Chain A
Amino acid sequence: MTAARYVINEIKGYHRFIKFLIFLVVASALASLVRFVFGLGATTNLNDTYPWGLWISFDVVTAVPLAAGAFTLGAIVHCFHIKKLEPLVRPAIVTGFLGYSLVCVGLLLDLGQPQRGWHVLRYWNLHSPMFEVSMCVMAYTTVLFLEFLSPVCEKFGFYLPLRVLRWLEMPLVIAAAAISTLHQSSLGTFFLIAVDKLHNLWYTPVLPLLFWMSAICAGLSIIILEATASHKWMGQPNEGVLLKTLAKILPWALGAYLCVRIGSLVFLSQGPYFDSPALLILFAIEVGIGFVLPLIMLMQSRIRNSDSRRATAAGLVVFGLVLNRFNVSMFGMMHGDKIYFPSFIESVVTIGIIAAHVLFFVLLAKYFPIFEHHPETVDYSLPDRFQKVGAVGARH
Chain B
Amino acid sequence: MSTQKNPNDGNVFLIDMTKCTGCRGCQVACKQWNQLEAEKTEFFSGEGYQNPPAMSDKTFTRIKFRDYQKNGQNEFAFYKEMCMHCNEPACASVCPVGAFHKTEEGPVIYNADRCIGCRFCMIACPFGVPKYEWSKAFPLVKKCTGCYSRIKAGMKPACATACPTAISYGPRHEMIKEAERRLTMYPDRYLKTVYGKEEAGGTSVMYLTALPFDELGFKKVTLRPLPGYTWQALRLVPSVFLTVGGGLSALSWINHRKERLSRLRDEEAENTETKEDK
A residues engaging B (CB < 8 A)?
35-42, 46-49, 51-52, 75, 78-81, 110-117, 119-120, 122-132, 134, 170, 173-175, 177-179, 181-182, 185-186, 188-190, 192-197, 205, 207-208
Contacts and interface: CB of A to CB of B under 8 A. Distances in A.
B259 interface: yes
A75 B117 CA distance: 35
A354 to B, nearest CB: 22
Contacts of B161: none
24 contacts: A38-B137, A39-B137, A40-B132, A48-B54, A48-B131, A49-B128, A51-B122, A52-B123, A112-B141, A113-B115, A113-B140, A116-B117, A119-B97, A120-B96, A123-B97, A178-B241, A181-B240, A182-B240, A185-B233, A186-B233, A193-B90, A193-B123, A193-B227, A193-B230
Given A47-B134, A193-B226, A132 B97 contact: no
Contacts of B56: 48
A112 B96 contact: no
B263 interface: no
Contacts of B248: 75, 79, 173-174, 177-178
Interface of B: 1, 54-56, 90, 93-99, 114-120, 122-124, 126, 128, 131-141, 219-222, 226-227, 229-234, 237, 240-241, 244-245, 248-249, 251-252, 255-256, 258-259
B134 A128 contact: no
B226 A182 contact: no
A190 B140 CA distance: 20
A51 B237 contact: no
Contacts of B258: 81
Contacts of B245: 174-175, 177-178
A116 B119 contact: no
A207 B227 CA distance: 16
A185 to B, nearest CB: 7
B81 to A, nearest CB: 12
A39 B252 contact: no
Given A129-B94, A192-B229, A112 B119 contact: yes
B130 to A, nearest CB: 8
Contacts of A112: 115-119, 132-133, 136, 138-141
Nearest to A124: B98
Given A112-B116, A126-B234, A190-B230, 17 more contacts: A39-B134, A48-B131, A51-B123, A79-B248, A112-B132, A112-B133, A112-B138, A114-B117, A119-B97, A125-B1, A125-B96, A128-B95, A130-B118, A174-B248, A181-B241, A181-B244, A182-B237
Nearest to B255: A81
Given A48-B128, A193-B124, A195-B229, A128 B256 contact: no
Contacts of A134: 96
Given A80-B255, A117-B116, A170-B252, A132 B98 contact: no
A-B pairs with the 4 shortest C-beta distances? A112-B117, A41-B134, A81-B255, A178-B245
Contacts of B232: 192, 205
B230 A129 contact: yes
Nearest to B238: A182
Contact of A189 (B55, B132, B233): B233
B140 A193 contact: no
B123 A111 contact: no
A387 B123 CA distance: 59
Contact of B256 (A81, A132, A178, A193): A81
Contact of A130 (B120, B251, B259): B120
Contact of A41 (B123, B135, B220, B222): B135
Contacts of B1: 125, 127
A187 to B, nearest CB: 11
Contact of A120 (B116, B123, B221, B240): B116
Given A39-B137, A113-B115, A208-B233, A174 B252 contact: yes
A362 to B, nearest CB: 32
Nearest to A125: B98
A278 B90 CA distance: 29
Nearest to A133: B96
A236 B72 CA distance: 81
Contact of A78 (B132, B134, B252): B252
A116 B140 CA distance: 12
A132 B95 CA distance: 11
B126 A196 contact: yes
A119 B115 CA distance: 8
Contact of A129 (B98, B234, B259): B234
A140 B106 CA distance: 39
Given A178-B241, A178-B244, A193-B123, A116 B116 contact: yes
A111 B132 CA distance: 12
Given A51-B132, A182-B241, A125 B139 contact: no
Contacts of A119: 97, 114, 116
Contact of B136 (A39, A49, A185, A186): A39
